[in-house]
């Protein structure tokens, strides 16, 4: 069910158990469950393939770990393939990612042709993706559309905001994109010109039942975190400002450290003795993570109130528990396709201060489900953090609305339903759209 795209399909990734959709009933209600079953009923046995570039780390892998088993539980033959590549390939595709998000980086013709195109060719030649509906995620495997053999309909699923992509890289990708049958973006505003295929909107989502996202009491969270907090000598009774993401230039962790150092200078706040915890990991398809971690670590210097953690043990349990006990979550990326960490923190009922960019602004309704700031508005960030820390009842007010906003829009059940509708559309199968 989960394989690397080796020619022989030999390398297997561990199988995940199929997930029974009925398990979500308490969270989304029986009506939603019935809708899903109805749509899936007409697609029983149909094949839905997903192709991406990593099984671990980052939002796409995180979502596929739930989407695939849920779809399988609904009777769809859903699979997940991952391309195999050398580190050099990921260096080039990371550059793609950065350039698409507006950074001024350069690449050579050799990088494009020898690495990007050839890696796609090598992974996909001589094999067929035998599926009725294939979803190819992000730029890394985008070129597979011409080098591979997709037997059914294929859509490119872009998880990043391409609206300001550099023309050169965009013009290189567009001919590939236009070879798909359709394109999915998280938001219509993220689509740069030149796409001639139908564009659909499907926002990303979180799975509320995973160990990370399951809602927990403070006591449960503290017990989960016991070892981690002890190891780093973190006192959970102090107010916690939390940030979680890959160590990456666009995640703007440098500004988070600056904001916190400024915040501590405030007399009312210094009495509360808050701490900042920055947690990050490095995805296998992200070669720049370690460098950025070292940079942030250096910036913190010997500030004993700031904890920078990398690749924490029991990642999922600990991340979810930290999000649940945090007093404020801060995520101020300069560019952000969606920002699953924002959804995750909101689902734990923790107020989020997020930057007014990309998918973050789909999630945060200012002063209702969190607070929106511009990525470098240090003073405003300070004011909001101070306001939340000095008024603990705000956690309840913002947290309640945040949970409901996620429930109604950003749960994985919603995402699977949208894909099944799209699949029905492409396969010419009627679906009860009036009930959607
Ligand atoms: N994540 C994690 N451990 C970390 C850092 C991040 O498990 O140390 C997870 C995080 O909880 C989220 C995903 O990685 O599920 C990151 O997704 P997001 O959309 O926020 O960012 P991306 O990495 O895709 O740009």
How many Cβ atoms sit within 10 Å of the Cβ of residue 297? 15
Rounded to 5°, the CA angle 187-193-199 comes to 45
- Checking if the pLDDT of 7 tops 90, the result is no
pLDDT grade for 240, boundaries at 50, 70 and 90: very high
Measured from the CA of 359, which atom of ligand 1 is nearest?
19
Rounded CA gap, 312 and 228, in Å? Answer: 8
Q: Which residues pair with 109 in a beta bridge?
A: none
CATH 2.120.10.30 fits 218-409, yes or no: no
Q: Compute φ and ψ for 331, nearest 5 degrees.
A: -145, 100
What pLDDT does residue 36 have? Answer: 95
Q: Is the CB of 141 under 6 A from ligand 1?
A: no
From residue 298, give the alpha-carbon distance in Å to each of 248, 254, 307, 332. 15, 10, 12, 20
Nearest to 154 by CA among 169, 174, 173, 176: 176
Share of the chain above pLDDT 90, in %: 75
Measured from the CA of 283, which atom of ligand 1 is nearest?
23
Q: Is the CB of 401 under 6 A from ligand 1?
A: no
Q: In this structure, what token pair is assigned to residue 345?
A: 């923190």
- Checking if the pLDDT of 111 tops 90, the result is no
Measured from the CA of 159, which atom of ligand 1 is nearest?
24
Kindly state the helix (H) or strand (E) to which residue 331 belongs, with its residue range: strand 328-331
- Checking if the pLDDT of 9 tops 60, the result is no
What pLDDT does residue 6 have? Answer: 45
Mutate to test the pocket of ligand 1, among 63, 203, 207, 244 (most ligand atoms within 8 A of CB): 244
What pLDDT does residue 287 have? Answer: 76
Q: Is the CB of 278 under 6 A from ligand 1?
A: no
Q: Do domains 9-205+411-426 and 218-409 have the same CATH topology?
A: yes
Mean pLDDT of all residues in 44-57: 90
Q: Compute φ and ψ for 24, nearest 5 degrees.
A: -95, 0
Q: In this structure, what token pair is assigned to residue 253?
A: 């962790």
pLDDT grade for 13, boundaries at 50, 70 and 90: very low
Nearest to 82 by CA among 339, 284, 289: 284
Rounded CA gap, 30 and 389, in Å? Answer: 38
Rounded distance from Cα 429 to ligand 1 centre (Å): 35
Mean pLDDT of all residues in 49-72: 89
Q: What CATH number should be reported for the domain whose range is 9-205+411-426? A: 3.40.50.2000
Q: Is the CB of 161 under 6 A from ligand 1?
A: no
Comparison of pLDDT for 210 and 55, the residue scoring more: 210
Mean pLDDT of all residues in 62-71: 93
DSSP state of 192: P
What pLDDT does residue 205 have? Answer: 96
Mutate to test the pocket of ligand 1, among 59, 253, 320 (most ligand atoms within 8 A of CB): 59
What's the pTM? Answer: 0.91
Mean pLDDT score of the chain: 91
pLDDT grade for 54, boundaries at 50, 70 and 90: confident
Q: Which of 134-138, 188-192, 329-333, 374-378 has the lowest mean pLDDT?
A: 188-192
What pLDDT does residue 11 have? Answer: 31
pLDDT grade for 56, boundaries at 50, 70 and 90: confident
Rounded CA gap, 107 and 96, in Å? Answer: 9
Mean pLDDT of all residues in 245-272: 96
List the residue whose alpha carbon is closest to atom 6 of ligand 1.
245
The domain ranges of the chain are: 9-205+411-426, 218-409
- Checking if the pLDDT of 77 tops 90, the result is yes
Q: Is the CB of 344 under 6 A from ligand 1?
A: yes
What pLDDT does residue 420 have? Answer: 96
Measured from the CA of 341, which atom of ligand 1 is nearest?
20
- Cα maximum dimension of the chain: 67
Q: Which residues pair with 4 in a beta bridge?
A: 82
pLDDT grade for 12, boundaries at 50, 70 and 90: very low
DSSP state of 115: I
Strand segments, DSSP code E, in 53-189 are 77-82, 128-129, 133-137, 149-150, 153-158, 182-185
pLDDT grade for 159, boundaries at 50, 70 and 90: very high
Q: Which residues pair with 353 in a beta bridge?
A: 330, 371
Mean pLDDT of all residues in 273-287: 85
Rounded CA gap, 157 and 269, in Å? Answer: 44
Rounded distance from Cα 63 to ligand 1 centre (Å): 10
Q: Compute φ and ψ for 296, nearest 5 degrees.
A: -65, -40
- Checking if the pLDDT of 239 tops 90, the result is yes
Mean pLDDT of all residues in 90-100: 87
pLDDT grade for 432, boundaries at 50, 70 and 90: low
199-219 tens-digit pLDDT: 999 999 999 999 999 999 999
In the chain, DSSP finds a helix count (H) and a strand count (E) of: 18, 15
161-177 tens-digit pLDDT: 898 898 988 999 999 99
- Checking if the pLDDT of 196 tops 60, the result is yes
Nearest to 280 by CA among 307, 317, 298, 240: 307
Rounded CA gap, 95 and 106, in Å? Answer: 8
Q: Compute φ and ψ for 372, nearest 5 degrees.
A: -105, 140
Mean pLDDT of all residues in 115-137: 92
What pLDDT does residue 2 have? Answer: 54
Name the one residue in this structure whose structure tokens are 């190891």. 231
CB-based contacts of 219, cutoff 8 Å, min separation 6: none
């Amino acid at each position: 069910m989960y394989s690397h795209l080796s020619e022989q399909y030999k390398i297997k990734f561990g199988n995940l158990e199929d997930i029974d959709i009925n398990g979500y009933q308490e969270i989304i209600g029986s009506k939603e469950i019935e809708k899903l079953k109805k749509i899936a009923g007409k697609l029983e046995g149909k094949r839905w393939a997903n192709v991406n570039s990593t099984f671990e780390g980052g939002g796409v892998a995180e979502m596929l770990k739930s989407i695939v088993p849920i779809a399988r539980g609904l009777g769809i033959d859903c699979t997940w393939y991952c391309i195999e590549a050398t580190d050099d390939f990921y260096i080039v595709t990371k550059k793609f990612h950065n350039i698409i998000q507006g950074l001024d980086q350069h690449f050579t013709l050799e990088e494009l042709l020898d690495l990007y195109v050839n890696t796609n060719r090598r992974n996909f030649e001589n094999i067929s993706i035998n599926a009725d509906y294939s979803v190819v995620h992000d730029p890394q495997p985008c070129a597979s559309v011409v080098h591979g053999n997709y037997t059914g309909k294929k859509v490119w699923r872009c998880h990043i905001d391409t609206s300001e992509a550099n023309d050169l890289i965009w013009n290189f990708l567009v001919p590939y994109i236009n070879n798909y049958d359709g394109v999915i973006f998280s938001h219509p505003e993220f689509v740069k010109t030149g796409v001639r295929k139908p564009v659909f909107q499907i926002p990303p989502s979180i799975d509320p039942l995973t160990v990370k996202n399951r809602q927990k009491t403070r006591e449960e969270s503290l017990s989960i975190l016991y070892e981690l907090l002890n190891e780093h000598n973190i006192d959970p009774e102090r107010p916690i400002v939390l940030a979680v993401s890959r160590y990456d230039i666009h995640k703007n962790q440098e500004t988070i450290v600056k904001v916190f150092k400024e915040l501590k200078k405030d007399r009312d706040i210094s009495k509360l003795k808050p701490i900042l915890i920055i947690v990050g990991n490095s995805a296998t398809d992200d070669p720049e993570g370690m460098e950025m971690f070292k940079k942030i670590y250096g910036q913190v210097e010997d500030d004993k109130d700031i904890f920078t953690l990398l690749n924490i043990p029991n990642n999922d349990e600990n991340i979810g528990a930290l999000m649940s006990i945090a007093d404020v979550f801060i995520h101020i990326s300069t560019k952000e396709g969606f920002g699953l960490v924002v959804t995750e923190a909101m689902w734990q009922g923790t107020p989020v201060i997020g930057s007014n960019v990309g998918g973050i602004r789909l999630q945060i309704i200012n002063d209702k489900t969190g607070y929106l700031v511009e990525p470098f508005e240090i003073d405003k960030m300070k004011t909001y953090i101070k306001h939340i820390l000095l008024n603990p009842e705000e956690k309840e007010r913002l947290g309640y609305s945040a949970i409901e906003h996620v429930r109604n829009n950003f749960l994985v059940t919603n995402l699977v339903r949208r894909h099944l509708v799209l699949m029905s559309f492409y396969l010419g199968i009627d679906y009860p759209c009036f009930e959607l």
